[in-house]
Amino acid sequence: MKRYASIRLVAAAALLIASGGCKDDDPGTGLNGPAVLAIQNAGAEPLQISLLEPKTQTIDIRAVARSVSAENLTVTFKVDRTLVDAYNKAHDTSYELVPAEAYEFSKKEVILPRYNEVSSTAQVTLNSEKMPDGEQYLLPITIEQIKGDDAAQTSDEGNVYYILFNKRVLPPAQLLDREGWKVVHCTSEYTPGEGNPKTGWAKDVLDGNPASYWTYNFKASVGPVVYVPFYFVFDMGKEVTVRGVRITARTKADGALNNPPGDITIETAKTITGDGMENDADWTYSERFTGTKPDEGIMSHSLHNSVYLGEIQRARYIRFTLHMSWNSGSSVKPTPMTYKGGTFAEFEVWGNLEELDLD
């Protein structure tokens, strides 16, 4: 009998211990008191983000438990504009709030499972295209609400995630000095030259003289007469930052335009094989520009046509392809993309000599 009494006493003691331990699982309590939450990576120093236009960057936002909860929590984040003034006062700065159109939460709510220390992920995306130029703007993100544990609270430290954001503005593109540039390939040119002084060669599009020009070989007595596409490979002598090109049309004696290029491709390379026509893999970037209206838009029927690359390139070589030209003819309105020959006066590059930070 004493044996069974001892067993009953041990069982009763175990029940008392178990019932006492369950108090830590009462709703609304942490393991060692109320749950205390902060924002992951939040601190006194803001996260600094600088983006070129039109780039975007997405930042992950998570809640972290300094003291965990016995309940599943739903945490909501918000941008608090009142904290901009508080930050400026504390740091003697004069930042303004990031414009509302320049940021977007793809998700504001996160889940912090019971007893876990890190929540799921919310995200805010910054858009440089919607930002004013140059100046830094402040985005303070804080915890708006905690659901699931009435006793849960935010930490006194790490409860605001500051982001300093600005749109980085590149130096303006310049028409690059063409001294030392040369043509290493041209599909066709009028080798005898024409006019007085003589012109018509590919090298003439680099001479800075709008009165000289290149023209394709249009006489069978000189050599094979070929039509578009015409390929040119230009060696700029060293690597430069290429942001676009400008093509100057040839003009007639009366000043009228003479069949300006209207459908072109620009390719760039740092190194080439031979004259640049042997290995297409050398050309790491390619973009085509086609005119559709004679009086506006890309590659219009104009004296000067400037086009800009969708992505800025660092390159030494440019391969320029003339696919088709405007047919100036004798009519008032030119015919788009019907002239299969080719001629133009100048080929220039918009860019910078220095390498630009494009990250």
Provide the pLDDT for residue 295. Answer: 82
SS3 per residue for the chain: CHHHHHHHHHHHHHHHHHHHHHHHHCCCCECCECCEEEECCCCCCCEEEEEECCCEEEEEECEEEEECECCCEEEEEEECCHHHHHHHHHHCCCCEECCHHHEEEEECEEEECCCCCECCCEEEEEEHHHCCECCCEEEEEEEEEEECCCCCEECCCCCEEEEEEEEECCCCCEECCCCCCEEEEECCCCCCCECCCCEECHHHHHCCCCCCCEECCCCCCCCCCCCCCEEEEEEEEEEEEEEEEEEECCECCCCCECCCEEEEEEEEECCCCCCCCCCHHHCCEEEEEECCECCECCCCCCCEEEEEEEEEEEEEEEEEEEEEEEECCCCCCCEEEEECCCEECEEEEEEECCCCCCC
**Contact at 8 Å (CB) between 229 and 323?**
yes
Q: Give yes or no: residues 121 and 222 share one domain.
A: no
Domain range for 207 is 174-352
In a domain, 213, yes or no: yes
Rounded Cα distance, 302 and 326, in Å: 10
Provide the pLDDT for residue 93. Answer: 97
Provide the pLDDT for residue 54. Answer: 79
Q: Give yes or no: residues 186 and 158 share one domain.
A: no
In a domain, 202, yes or no: yes
Of 148, 168, 188, which marks where a domain is finished? 168
Query: Per-residue pLDDT for 100 more than 80?
Result: yes
In a domain, 253, yes or no: yes
In a domain, 327, yes or no: yes
Q: Give the mean pLDDT of 45-70.
A: 94
Model confidence at 343, pLDDT cuts 50, 70, 90, reads very high
Nearest to 339 by CA among 222, 250, 244, 206: 250
**Contact at 8 Å (CB) between 178 and 208?**
yes
Model confidence at 292, pLDDT cuts 50, 70, 90, reads confident
- Residue 265 φ/ψ region, left for φ over 0, alpha for ψ in the -120 to 50 degree band, beta for the rest: beta
Q: Give yes or no: residues 134 and 228 share one domain.
A: no
In a domain, 8, yes or no: no
Q: Give yes or no: residues 267 and 137 share one domain.
A: no
Query: How is residue 127 written in tokens?
Result: 């858009």
CATH code, 84: 2.60.40.1740
Q: Give yes or no: residues 47 and 117 share one domain.
A: yes
Q: Give yes or no: residues 153 and 255 share one domain.
A: no
Provide the pLDDT for residue 279. Answer: 96
pLDDT digits (tens, 9 = 90+) for 196-254: 999 999 999 999 999 999 999 999 999 999 999 999 999 999 999 999 999 999 999 99
Query: How is residue 277 written in tokens?
Result: 């026509």
Query: Max Cα separation, the chain?
Result: 131
- What is the number of domains present in the chain? 2
Query: How is residue 343 written in tokens?
Result: 């001629």
Query: Per-residue pLDDT for 327 more than 80?
Result: yes
Q: Give the mean pLDDT of 127-135.
A: 91
Q: Give yes or no: residues 340 and 199 share one domain.
A: yes
In a domain, 3, yes or no: no
Of 124, 149, 168, which marks where a domain is finished? 168
In a domain, 11, yes or no: no
Model confidence at 72, pLDDT cuts 50, 70, 90, reads very high
Q: Give yes or no: residues 342 and 198 share one domain.
A: yes
Q: Give yes or no: residues 199 and 119 share one domain.
A: no
Window from 69-83, 118-132, 287-301 with minimum mean pLDDT: 287-301
Provide the pLDDT for residue 239. Answer: 98
Q: Give yes or no: residues 79 and 228 share one domain.
A: no
Provide the pLDDT for residue 212. Answer: 98
CATH code, 214: 2.60.120.260
Q: Give yes or no: residues 245 and 151 share one domain.
A: no
Model confidence at 335, pLDDT cuts 50, 70, 90, reads confident
Nearest to 31 by CA among 61, 66, 83, 5: 66
Of 117, 141, 168, which marks where a domain is finished? 168
Query: How is residue 246 written in tokens?
Result: 């400008």
Q: Give yes or no: residues 53 and 162 share one domain.
A: yes
Provide the pLDDT for residue 330. Answer: 56
In a domain, 5, yes or no: no
